[in-house]
Structure 1
Amino acid sequence: MSVFSRLFKARDKPKNSLFGNAYSFFFGGTSSGKTVNERTAMQTTAVYACVRILAEAIAGLPLHVYRYKEDGGKEKALTHPLYYLLHDEPNPEMTSFVFRETLMSHLLLWGNAYAQIIRDGSGRVLALYPLLPNKMTVDRAPNGELFYTYRRDSDESRVNPKAGLIYLRSDEVLHIPGLGFDGLIGYSPIAMAKNAIGMAIACEEYGASFFANGANPGGVLEHPGVLKDPAKVRESWNAVYQGSANAHRIAVLEEGMKFQPIGIPPEQAQFLETRKFQINEIARIFRVPPHMVGDLEKSSFSNIEQQSLEFVKYTLDPWVVRWEQALQKALLLPSEKRAYFVKFNVDGLLRGDYASRMNGYAVARQNGWMSANDIRELEDMNRIPAELGGDLYLVNGNMTRLADAGAFAGKNNAKTEGSKVEQITKTKTGSPLLELDTKR
């Protein structure tokens, strides 16, 4: 075996332990000196807004299980057991919205989302329960198969209060990984952008402390003589002038004292600009348009609709595909994967305004590729009975094939010439039609 082959084999050898998210904060503390983790980051308004927007968007999308039809189409598999679990209740304690919102928030903060799969004897899914990503470790067995180790605390289960490790097979865990180094474990976006988030936390703390100390703590009281009790003077000053409620009060100085401010005002330190930039920086991490987190500086009536469409196309769509493929891989039986598939419906988010939708429906209806019931279903309206024409596909009568245009015109000309000959014949024979034509 060559040296290159030996190096290649050693590099590609599977690791025994992937350590879950234990390496999230391997690179040390933040430059701002603030502690940043998945929980403290949520106290930043921009992070909370981005996580909430994406989690609620994924949770609110209609989720269906479809079956392939023999004619090449598809239909909802309403009788499949998985349809009710994904669409309504994954487990007796959660709705589908809460379940997907929880897993999506885990995915955005920790980079991974886990759920335990409860199956029956035949392998069909009975329930799905979320698992915390910071307690999960992904390992590889000697035979190369992946298995999951979950660290359960004593307060998590009243049925089995003993703390310890729970080992789960790969078919017992729904794992949705985010962007990662190896394709198996996603890394935490909060850990990757901890300096930006730490700076945002530092800016918030600075602003809060500035307004809490309205006496401008960066100032100095100068006395011409020697003070016997400086602490008493400082406490007296703070008692009267400290705090936002005492701002702009007139100070009275005695014994020749002078107040010398040495602090830098927030305007000069570009405090507000820094906070605004950090909001855009965090929105950039999650690829959320700034107008969705409250920054409307660069938004207008002409471009905000386009930005919303780009949010669905470039932000939500990759997450949707990631969810769909993970659900199909983990929840469908091997014998079902060629006949069934899971799909989110994002059509509702891509809708335009009412006038645009009606114009689009009119074009589709007149050109024959949508029926009245197709349109009514998209607008969440009841179907028109088939006997009243609700399922008819109509086409504009003025439209015909180019090859038939001449023949169609020739037939009309022949009918016209025939009617003229018939009228002349009836006129010569004294037909009553002659009187009708004369009167006309």
Structure 2
Amino acid sequence: MKSPFRRAWFSTRGRQTVPEIPKTEAKMAQGSAAGFALLSGEGAAHWSGRSYAALSRIGFMRNPVAYRAMRMIAEAAAAVPWLAYEGRSEATEHPALVLLARPNTRQGGPDFFEALYGHLLLSGNAYVEPLLIGASLRELHLLRPDRVSVVEGRDGWIAAYDYRAGGTTRRLPAEVADDGSLSLMHLKLFHPLDDHSGFPPLGAAGAALDLSNAAAAWNKALLDNSARPSGALVYQPKDGGNLSADQYERLKEELEAGYSGAVNAGRPLLLEGGLDWKSMGLSPKDMDFIEARNGAARDIALAFGVPPMLIGIPGDNTYANYQEANRAFYRLTVLPLIARTAASFTAWLSQAYGDGLRLEPDLDRIAGLSAEREALWARVGAAAFLSDEEKREAVGY
């Protein structure tokens, strides 16, 4: 019978294993009655990896809070349309806008940018490869961050990038080539200890992510075990003695086959002479996994910059209502991410379209900021000391 105190989120990989105690020692015969031994291992906490693949599996693909937070940021940022300027004039038909609206034949603009922001949030890095036909920039393609490695030069700066896929490796330039070909575009978030790679937000929430997944695994195991902690069978015959090895194995097999699992919940336990069931339970305070999961969920949302109220996490009423939380989400998380992306694309695409190009998000078409834009228009419209041209410039036209 498995120990009821074996935690579901511990793995034997990456930690020291406790030597198995022989069965004869575990029975511990004392005098005329046999006692029982309670074995509880105290190992160090096991943390999941922090690589792109590990964070993708345990975070985006397994944790609903991390999945929803990432989708909210990526979808909100990808839905914001772009504006192109040449100097101070808006260029509504600029080739850069056409390219960003349809980066390649397999992806539209929202799909492309959703994947790009997803790469940034999961790995702290995003890589965009240009496809040129002749001297014309025709397509943009995203490269998976875990397949890209940095090649350092002798001076410590990035000299090139190696991209591995399908058993082959391609070397991509980090600077504009002599023939004018564009380099690989590398977007990254700030990393305090790495000069060439970014740090993912989910990496800072790794402990909370493991705690949230572990609490879910514990609750699932508890439900599989009749939604209650297990207990111990105590053998205390009146005439003394111990169970034989065959009796011990038969009893263990019967317990695992006939009394474990959700399908056997509530099934009465049939005991033979000398056997007594001692239930083992934990206090409600110790079993308060709901609050522990909510606390971990808040930490995950905090790392991404998503107000917990927007994800439905209880216990956080920092904002007076949902509308205020949504505005804070756009102002503090979505817009800074879009602004840094626009600045990077402006500098990169200027190599192909000229230094006068400037890309900016169209703030007037963001539904989450409509109330703020209306207030701005009202204030500017009521300013009698401004000319019509100055009013247009004040609101971004």
Query: Do the two structures share a fold, i.e. TM-score over 0.5?
Result: yes
Residues 1:194 and 1:31: Cα distance change in structure 2 (over 3 Å)? farther
**Structure 1 CA distance for aligned equivalents of residues 379 and 314 of structure 2:** 35
Residues 1:142 and 1:364: Cα distance change in structure 2 (over 3 Å)? closer
1:75 is aligned to 2:87: no
2:186 is matched with 175
Question: Identity, % of aligned pairs?
Answer: 24
The residue identity in structure 2 corresponding to 1:153 is A
Residues 1:317 and 1:221: Cα distance change in structure 2 (over 3 Å)? same
The residue identity in structure 2 corresponding to 1:277 is G
Query: How does 1:27-426 map onto structure 2 within 5 Å?
Result: 32-36=45-49, 37-40=54-57, 41-42=59-60, 43-69=62-88, 74-78=89-93, 80-87=94-101, 89-122=102-135, 124-142=136-154, 146-154=158-166, 163-170=168-175, 171-181=182-192, 184-214=196-226, 216=228, 218-225=230-237, 226-228=242-244, 229-255=247-273, 257-264=275-282, 267-299=285-317, 302-333=320-351, 336-338=354-356, 340-347=357-364, 348-351=366-369
Unaligned runs of 5+ in 2: 1-13, 16-42, 176-181
The residue identity in structure 2 corresponding to 1:198 is D
Unaligned runs of 5+ in 1: 1-27, 155-161, 379-440
Q: Counterpart of 1:260 in 2: which secondary structure?
A: strand
The residue identity in structure 1 corresponding to 2:359 is V
Contact 2:310 2:322 in 1 (8 A): no
The residue identity in structure 2 corresponding to 1:90 is P
Per-residue displacement from partner, 1:36-88 (whole Å, max 9, x unpaired)?
A: 3222332222221221111111111112323344xxxx32431x22211112x
Per-residue displacement from partner, 1:71-106 (whole Å, max 9, x unpaired)?
A: xxx32431x22211112x101111111111111111
Q: What is the CA distance between 1:334 and its match in structure 2? A: 7.1
TM-score by length of 2: 0.71
Q: What is the CA distance between 1:231 and its match in structure 2? A: 3.4
Contact 2:151 2:158 in 1 (8 A): yes
Residues 1:370 and 1:105: Cα distance change in structure 2 (over 3 Å)? farther
Q: Counterpart of 1:172 in 2: which secondary structure?
A: coil
Q: What is the CA distance between 1:110 and its match in structure 2? A: 0.6
2:9 is matched with none
**Structure 2 CA distance for aligned equivalents of residues 357 and 115 of structure 1:** 32
**Structure 2 CA distance for aligned equivalents of residues 243 and 49 of structure 1:** 31
Which one has more relative contact order, counting CA pairs under 8 Å at least 6 apart?
2
Per-residue displacement from partner, 1:223-270 (whole Å, max 9, x unpaired)?
A: 333445233334434444422344344545453533212242565332
**Structure 1 CA distance for aligned equivalents of residues 314 and 111 of structure 2:** 30
Q: What is the CA distance between 1:108 and its match in structure 2? A: 0.5
**Structure 2 CA distance for aligned equivalents of residues 99 and 334 of structure 1:** 20
Q: What is the CA distance between 1:201 and its match in structure 2? A: 2.5
Q: What is the CA distance between 1:344 and its match in structure 2? A: 1.6
1:392 is matched with none
Per-residue displacement from partner, 1:163-207 (whole Å, max 9, x unpaired)?
A: 134232333212111112366431233444433322223222222
Q: What is the CA distance between 1:287 and its match in structure 2? A: 1.3
The residue identity in structure 2 corresponding to 1:278 is A
Contact 1:215 1:241 in 2 (8 A): no
Per-residue displacement from partner, 1:342-374 (whole Å, max 9, x unpaired)?
A: 112233234457xx9889878877878999xx9
Aligned-pair Cα RMSD in Å = 3.5
Residues 1:150 and 1:321: Cα distance change in structure 2 (over 3 Å)? same
Residues 1:268 and 1:298: Cα distance change in structure 2 (over 3 Å)? same
TM-score by length of 1: 0.65
**Structure 2 CA distance for aligned equivalents of residues 143 and 357 of structure 1:** 48
Contact 1:324 1:343 in 2 (8 A): yes
After superposing the two structures, state which structure 1 stretch, 296-305 or 172-181, moved more: 296-305
The residue identity in structure 1 corresponding to 2:90 is E
